[in-house]
A and B are shown apart, each in its own frame.
Chain A
Amino acid sequence: MATPSVRPSVTFDEVEVGLDLPPLAKHPDMLQLFMFSAITWDTHRTHWDIPYSVDVEKLPGILTHGHLQGSFLCQMLSDWIGPEGRLKSINYQNRSNTIAGDKLTCKGRVTSKSEKDGAALVTCEVWVEKADGGVTTTGEAIVQLPRK
């Protein structure tokens, strides 16, 4: 496979407060939840065993891992900042259950810009939405961007 060329990273100067980040659509299905459970050694049946989840835990299906949604938010951020940006921090809270098959969209918006110890920092609110507009995860991230 040909190596893709490195695209220019977004710079601090071109980012303004209020900017919407490019959204990222994700559609985690059972196969993806299985793979994520396997690589993270997560044996909890709520993530892969439908009869257990529905009959025992009374869930509407198998649960999408909270940290898989966290991983999606990080993917949205790293896609946006490019290879020369740095994700400095993220915090997020899982607000409601998401099950396999739900169509999710990660979104974000720039809330402030600051400089600290010479680093150009951008703070963003980030969240995960379901197709019905319900928000399943909310959080905040700080990224460091190159200046020019």
Chain B
Amino acid sequence: MAPDSTPAQIEHSHITDEARSHIGRTGPVRRFQVTARDICRFAISIGDKNPLWRDEEYANQTSHRGVIAPPMFHCVIDLDEEDLDQLEESGLGKNMGLRMEVPVPGFPGAMATGRDIEFGEPIRAGDTISAQETLVDIYEKSGRRGPLVFVVSEKVYTNQRGEFVLKERRGLIRHQ
């Protein structure tokens, strides 16, 4: 979230009816099979040596009864795969999810806000995780350097038993 944003006195809205019609849209359900190797590699990439993420014997002695993935492991399955010729010069994919699909004319800039995550069942090797994104909100604020449009989506992850794994709410700030 932009530190310089304040509750706005919006004189005229930058949110078009077309943009507003995106609220409630859902993306496709994506599925991903989790391996112990993915979990181990993610733990290494964040520099986290907790044996709960990789030592089966250790993890079996805990109430988890086995290795689980670190909390932010869903980052591994968050981004869509795209072919090289589908990437922009910046390296960003052309298909960046529902938040980038909302038209905000005159607001070419985009930056991420933080994330708001609620955790359920942990992810384990062997799980098949399903994830689906919904566009949940669009609102505007005036920042120090001009108006800002916030596009918010929510992604829900479940496992192969239909159990709730996590819900993540993320905003994208569009700026001029």
Q: Which residues of A contact B (CB under 8 A)?
A: 1, 3-4, 6, 26, 28, 32, 35-36, 38-46, 49, 52, 56, 66-68, 70-72, 74-75, 77-79, 83-84, 86-96, 137, 139
Candidates A26, A87, A91, A139; contact of B47 at CB < 8 Å: A26
A–B pairs, 30, beta carbons within 8 Å:
A1-B55, A4-B51, A26-B47, A39-B42, A39-B76, A42-B79, A43-B93, A44-B90, A44-B91, A44-B92, A45-B91, A56-B90, A66-B114, A67-B75, A70-B115, A74-B71, A75-B46, A75-B47, A75-B48, A78-B50, A83-B64, A84-B63, A89-B117, A89-B119, A90-B71, A90-B116, A91-B114, A93-B1, A96-B3, A139-B114
Q: Which residues of B contact A (CB under 8 A)?
A: 1, 3, 38, 41-42, 44-48, 50-52, 55, 57-59, 61-64, 70-72, 75-76, 78-79, 81-82, 87, 90-93, 112-119
Question: Which A residue sits closest to B71, measured CB to CB?
Answer: A74
Whether the pair B115, A91 counts as a contact (CB closer than 8 A) is yes
Bound-state Cα–Cα, A27 to B14, Å: 41
Bound-state Cα–Cα, A79 to B90, Å: 36
Bound-state Cα–Cα, A88 to B61, Å: 21
Specify which chain A residues have a CB less than 8 angstroms from the CB of B117 in the assembled complex: 89-91
Whether the pair A84, B50 counts as a contact (CB closer than 8 A) is no
Specify which chain A residues have a CB less than 8 angstroms from the CB of B87 in the assembled complex: 43
Specify which chain A residues have a CB less than 8 angstroms from the CB of B51 in the assembled complex: 3-4
Bound-state Cα–Cα, A92 to B59, Å: 28
Specify which chain B residues have a CB less than 8 angstroms from the CB of A86 in the assembled complex: 119
Query: Beyond A35-B45, A45-B90, A93-B113, is A40–B3 a contact (Cβ under 8 Å)?
Result: no
Specify which chain A residues have a CB less than 8 angstroms from the CB of B75 in the assembled complex: 40, 67, 71
Min CB distance A34 to B, Å, is 9
7 further A-B pairs in the complex, CB-CB below 8 A; given A66-B112, A90-B116? A4-B55, A35-B41, A40-B42, A40-B75, A71-B71, A90-B71, A91-B115
Min CB distance B54 to A, Å, is 10
Specify which chain A residues have a CB less than 8 angstroms from the CB of B57 in the assembled complex: 3
